[in-house]
């Protein structure tokens, strides 16, 4: 919940923590409030009450209020769970802007892996109060190791659902998953390698997307021919991660 003071205006809600901290300089408080209103895009709503705001606007007030006393860490607990998809996107863009421009560490608690993919640099997955996996978002998303992580990733990327390879048990060839990151995502490496080695391949599933600012792609394919091992070696030399899936 946004936990705004319903009887106070947007300005007073944002000013509240500064007054709690003992700041009695009304001019300095208003200057800081105006600065925060501009940052979160609510200058035109300064004198409105929470009941007059949309969910996304209320969340922006909450973010501005949290920034009021210039914290070194911003803690966001399910910051988008009460918002519609379009509003979620705008709030995530705001958080990414704050992280980038203010150099402020943001700890984001969420069960929505798409939120993690869009704005986070590193991720820790908790299960029953214990960290079961952690690392860069790209590593965890592309190669989840723990069952809980795989479940979360599969919810965000259903085409990669656990047991997917069972659909391919009658497909001839070796079943492979190729992972591309950065500029390799746009390079025609697969076509070049298969021409050079004379192997055939059939694409079974795939996607291209971004993890924050990093482009990435994954392909699940069946590969056949006498030189499959040579093809896999060439792909790895080109910086492509290759995983052979058991049937």
For domain 163-244, is the CATH number 3.30.70.260? Answer: yes
Mean pLDDT of 119-134: 94
Query: What confidence tier does 197 reach under pLDDT thresholds 50, 70, 90?
Result: very high
Residue 178 near residue 218 (C-beta atoms within 8 A): yes
What value does the mean pLDDT of the chain take? 90
Mean pLDDT of 169-196: 91
Residue 163 has pLDDT above 60, yes or no: no
Q: Is 83 helix (H, G, I), strand (E, B) or coil?
A: coil
Q: Is 104 helix (H, G, I), strand (E, B) or coil?
A: coil
- Which of 115-124, 157-166, 201-210 bottoms out in mean pLDDT, i.e. has the lowest? 157-166
- Which of 14-28, 69-83, 190-204, 220-234 bottoms out in mean pLDDT, i.e. has the lowest? 69-83
Hey, what CATH topology would domain 10-110 get?
Rossmann fold (3.40.50)
Domain ranges for the chain, please list them.
10-110, 163-244
CA geometry: angle at 138 spanning 80 and 155, to 5°?
A: 50
| Residue-level pLDDT at 162 | 44
| Rounded Cα–Cα distance for residues 36 and 157 (Å) | 36
Q: What is the pLDDT of residues 34-49, one digit of tens each?
A: 999 999 999 999 999 9
Tokens, residue 101: 């421009």
- H-helix or E-strand spanning residue 221: strand 214-224
SS (H, E, C) 152-181: HHHHHCHHHCCCHHHHHCCCCCEEEEEEEE
């Amino acid at each position: 919940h946004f936990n705004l003071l319903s009887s106070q205006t947007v300005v007073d809600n944002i000013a509240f923590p500064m007054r709690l901290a003992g700041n009695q300089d009304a001019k300095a408080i208003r200057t800081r409030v105006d600065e925060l209103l501009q940052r979160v895009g609510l200058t035109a709503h300064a004198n409105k009450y929470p009941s007059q705001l949309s969910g996304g606007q209320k969340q922006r007030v909450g973010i501005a209020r949290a920034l009021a006393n210039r914290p070194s860490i911003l803690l966001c607990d399910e910051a988008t769970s009460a918002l519609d998809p379009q509003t979620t996107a705008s709030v995530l863009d705001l958080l990414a802007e704050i992280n980038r421009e203010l150099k402020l560490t943001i700890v984001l608690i969420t069960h929505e892996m798409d939120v993690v993919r869009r704005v986070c640099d590193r991720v820790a997955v908790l299960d029953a109060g214990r960290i079961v996996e952690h690392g860069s978002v790209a590593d965890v998303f592309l190669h989840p190791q723990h069952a809980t992580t795989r479940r979360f990733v599969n919810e965000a990327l259903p085409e990669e659902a656990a047991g997917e390879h069972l659909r391919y048990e009658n497909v001839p060839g070796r079943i492979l998953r190729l992972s591309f990151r950065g500029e390799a995502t746009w390079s025609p490496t697969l076509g070049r390698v298969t021409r050079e080695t004379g192997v055939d391949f059939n694409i079974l599933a795939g996607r291209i997307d971004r993890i924050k600012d990093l482009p990435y792609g994954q392909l699940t394919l069946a590969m056949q021919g006498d030189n499959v091992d040579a093809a896999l070696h060439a792909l790895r030399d080109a910086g492509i991660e290759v995983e052979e899936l058991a049937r």
